[in-house]
Structure 1
Amino acid sequence: MLRLRQAPNLAIATLWADVLRQAGIEASVQRQFLSSAAGELPPDQCLPEIWITHDQQLGEARKLLDQLLNLPQRRWRCECGELVEGGFESCWNCGRMMP
C-alpha cells in the first residue's frame, strides 16, 4: 500500500477515494477518525489520507487526482451584464439560467 495524498477534510477524502475506485483503482481512506485528536497531536498529522492498494497504479491514481483537482472553471456573461464564474448555472444577480 502507498499513501497517495492528504485531504483537507473527510468529505473530500471520501470523494477522492470514490473517484479512484470508480476508475478501477483500489483506494481507501485512512485516519478518518483522527480529526478529534487535533490539538493533542499536530493538526497536519490528523488529516485524512488516501491510500492505494496496488503500487503499480500510483501513476494512474496521481494523474486522475491531479485532473480532479485542476478542473477548468467556467465563466460566462449573463444577459443582465453580470460576469458569472465557477460552476454556477444561474446568474447570482438576476437568476437567469446560463445560456
Structure 2
Amino acid sequence: MPRQPIYLAADPIEAEIVRNLLATERIECDVFGSMLWSGRGELAADAYPRLMLRDARDETRARELLAEYTSSSARPQPAWTCSCGESVPGNFAACWSCGGVPA
C-alpha cells in the first residue's frame, strides 16, 4: 500500500522545519515535492512539499507533534516593549530598532 503524506507544508522552508522537528523526536521522514515549488503557478500539479514517514509506527507520535506545531504557530504572539522603549510586534524575536530581545 502506498504511503500517505503526514504533512503538507506551505513551502520548502516549512517542510524542512517540520522535518527537523520530527527528527528531534527520532521520527524519520522524507520530503517530496520541494523541487516543484519553483514551478507553482506554471505547472498543472500540486507543487506543495509533503512529508512522508519512513516508519508507519511513528504516525501517532508524529501527529501529536504536528498538532502542537500547528496550534502554536497559529497562535498570535503578544507585542512586547523593548528596554529601549520601542514597541515590537509579537512575531519579532528581536527589537527592530536596537536588536534587543525580550526580557
Q: Shorter-chain-normalised TM-score: which range?
A: 0.7 to 0.9
Conservation of the 8 A alpha-carbon contact between 1:78 and 1:96 = no
Shift of 1:85: 1.6
Q: Which has the higher contact order (CA 8 A, sep 6+)?
A: 1
* CA RMSD after TM alignment: 2.4
SS of 1:50's partner is strand
Structure 1 residues 21 and 2: CA distance shift in structure 2, 3 A: farther
1-structure distance, mates of 2:33, 2:86 = 47
Superposition TM-score, scaled by structure 1 size: 0.73
Conservation of the 8 A alpha-carbon contact between 1:2 and 1:55 = no
Residue 32 of structure 1 aligns to which amino acid in structure 2? Answer: S
Instruction: Name the count of aligned residue pairs.
Output: 95
Any residues of structure 2 matched to 1:1-99 within 5 Å, and which? 1-38=3-40, 39-42=42-45, 45-69=46-70, 70-71=72-73, 73-78=77-82, 80=85, 82=87, 84-90=89-95, 92=96, 94-95=97-98, 97=100, 98-99=102-103
Gaps of 5+ in 2: none
Shift of 1:56: 2.2
The structure where strand makes up a greater share of residues is: 1
Shift of 1:19: 1.6
Superposition TM-score, scaled by structure 2 size: 0.71
User: What's the % identity of the aligned pairs?
Assistant: 18
Q: Which stretch of structure 1 is more off in the superposition, 67-76 or 25-34?
A: 67-76
